[in-house]
Amino acid sequence: MSPDPWSRRLRRILLDHLWGQWSALGVAGYGGADHRIIDPEALLLCSLEQARWDARLFDVILDWCGINGDLLAVPRLKALRGRHPVARQLAALAELCHASGGGNRWRPLLDPGKATSPPEPLFFTLEGVPLPQVGLPDPAFLRQGLRREAYLSRGQASPFQPWVPAALILSLRALMGSSARCEIVAWLCGGMEWTPSQLARQTGYSQKNIQDAMVDMARSGHVQVRQAGREKRYRLDEPSRRFLTAGKVLTPYPWMTVYPLVSQTLALLAKAEDMGLAGDSVHPKLHQAMDASLPALLEGGQRPEPFAWSQTEDFLALLSELLVGKEGAAAR
């Protein structure tokens, strides 16, 4: 039996990781403890793209959004959606949430749709075979040119648990509303100093938004600031950090960069495999993708060794490590 194509192997790793992340946020599933703070918007956008290969995951995410969607930052979703080809899935999700009582907060993501004729299937098997539609199509997805059966809640999601360390951003939003301050505090909880420009790059908010918020937060006495040349560097005072993390080690993580890099790699590999090309044929493009992502990864505390992407197989091992952590990658 021939080994699985590289794209299928990487997609399995990614889907397992996504299940673990959503399980930590309240979805019935599987996953272990993770000290890395979850980025809800980056997670949702990646999932809307990749859960097309796992229909059950896709639908429990819809369940979760129906319960916890008020804690998602819709303006941030709108700002980040260009990093994944999910405009249609996101518009259908917004329509479902809006119709189920989510209010006008979802309106910026609504889209009347430009349905293709005929619509394309939403779901596929890992082998790339379209899943058949059973019963009537879902009108929200059909308006976006995507064919699937009518969505019915599986009842497999619950309110997020605020004591789960990785759910810190959602916990902060429940405490003080959805704003850039939640991401700022989450990144400061790692114990490092950050400049406004660095946090703007890591969170997707504008530098002015981040800087204005950090200046105000420094007035509280809980956020400390020092001048370093022309820059001001901010950090959370230790008592506040220990209170917010319950004394646990929490790590902010550049998911906003990692997820698009993995998704881009999957798209390149799948295209090459469809054309009957060897995976190594796309290695130059994979190298370009890593070069473009490297500054944000380094700034976010990840330091992939250059030799680790000298071959396509090594590159995939590196991506696996970025997703599941060094301990999880070693266990595979």
- pLDDT on residue 69: 95
- pLDDT on residue 277: 74
Lowest mean pLDDT among 115-129, 165-179, 219-233, 305-319: 305-319
* Domain positions in the chain: 6-147, 179-245, 255-331
Amino acid at 311: Q
Q: Which helix (H) or strand (E) holds 258?
A: helix 255-274
- pLDDT on residue 94: 96
Q: Give 46's pLDDT tier (boundaries 50, 70, 90).
A: very high
- pLDDT on residue 152: 93
* Per-residue pLDDT tens digits for 234-258: 999 999 999 999 888 899 999 999 9
Q: What is the mean pLDDT of residues 57-75?
A: 96
Do residues 24 and 38 make contact, with C-beta atoms less than 8 angstroms apart?
Answer: yes
Gap between the Cα atoms of 199 and 52, Å rounded: 31
Gap between the Cα atoms of 295 and 279, Å rounded: 25
- pLDDT on residue 168: 96
* Per-residue pLDDT tens digits for 293-314: 999 999 998 887 766 666 788 8
CB atoms within 10 A of CB 196: 23
* Per-residue pLDDT tens digits for 258-280: 999 999 999 999 998 888 776 67
Global pTM exceeds 0.75: yes
Average pLDDT along the chain: 91
Stronger pLDDT, 140 or 281, i.e. the higher one: 140
CATH class of 179-245: mainly alpha
Q: What is the mean pLDDT of residues 217-243?
A: 95
- pLDDT on residue 330: 45
Stronger pLDDT, 195 or 330, i.e. the higher one: 195
Gap between the Cα atoms of 284 and 122, Å rounded: 30
Of the candidates 146, 134, 131, 166, the one whose C-alpha atom is nearest the C-alpha of residue 325 is 166
Of the candidates 77, 4, 66, 11, the one whose C-alpha atom is nearest the C-alpha of residue 44 is 77
Statement: residue 114 has pLDDT above 70? no
Do residues 314 and 307 make contact, with C-beta atoms less than 8 angstroms apart?
Answer: yes
Residues 6+ apart with CB under 8 A from 154: 56, 59, 60, 63
DSSP string, 155-195: S-B----TTSGGGHHHHHHHHH-SSHHHHHHHHHTTS--B-
- pLDDT on residue 1: 39
Residues 6+ apart with CB under 8 A from 34: 20, 21, 24, 166, 325
Provide the b/e sequence for 62-99 (b: ≥16 CB within 10 Å).
Answer: bbbbbebbbbbbbbbbeebbebbebebbbbbbbbbbbe
Of the candidates 281, 280, 302, the one whose C-alpha atom is nearest the C-alpha of residue 293 is 302
Gap between the Cα atoms of 245 and 100, Å rounded: 34
* Per-residue pLDDT tens digits for 3-19: 678 999 999 999 999 99
